[in-house]
């Protein structure tokens, strides 16, 4: 819950809900979509434990993890654009499949 000049904001998982009201009016709520950069950043942050584990067990070096994070970030931005493109989703899924195959291969060594 945050309040600012003339607005009260409630956080939810999909967006920010804002209440715009004056002293004499009823509350009017509307969802405000999050900024694309915030969504991408949150998705990357949610995966940090996964990346740390891959490094901790020795499957990838710190440099390799940074490279993976850069690639995943770029793919995340592509799938969160206003103009959606099926190819961007396919490329992201294919990258994740390839990454999982690489993890399996590295784990067998």
CB 92 within 8 A of CB 105: no
Digit-by-digit pLDDT tens for the chain (109 residues) are 444 455 544 444 454 444 444 454 555 555 556 688 888 899 999 999 999 999 999 999 999 999 999 999 999 999 988 888 899 999 999 999 999 999 998 877 6
pLDDT of residue 108: 75
pTM exceeds cut of 0.75: no
Alpha-carbon distances, residue 55 vs 13, 29, 50, 58 (angstroms): 29, 44, 9, 5
- The two tokens of residue 44 are 């990357």
């Amino acid at each position: 819950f945050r309040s600012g000049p003339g607005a009260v904001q409630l956080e939810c998982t999909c967006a920010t809900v804002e209440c715009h009201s004056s002293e004499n009016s009823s509350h009017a709520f509307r969802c405000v979509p999050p900024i694309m950069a915030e969504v991408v950043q949150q998705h990357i942050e949610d995966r940090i434990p996964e990346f740390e584990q891959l490094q901790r067990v020795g499957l990838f070096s710190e440099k390799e993890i940074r490279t993976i994070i850069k690639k995943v970030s770029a793919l995340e931005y592509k799938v969160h654009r206003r103009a959606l493109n099926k190819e961007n989703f396919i490329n992201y899924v294919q990258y994740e499949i390839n990454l999982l195959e690489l993890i399996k291969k590295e784990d067998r060594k």
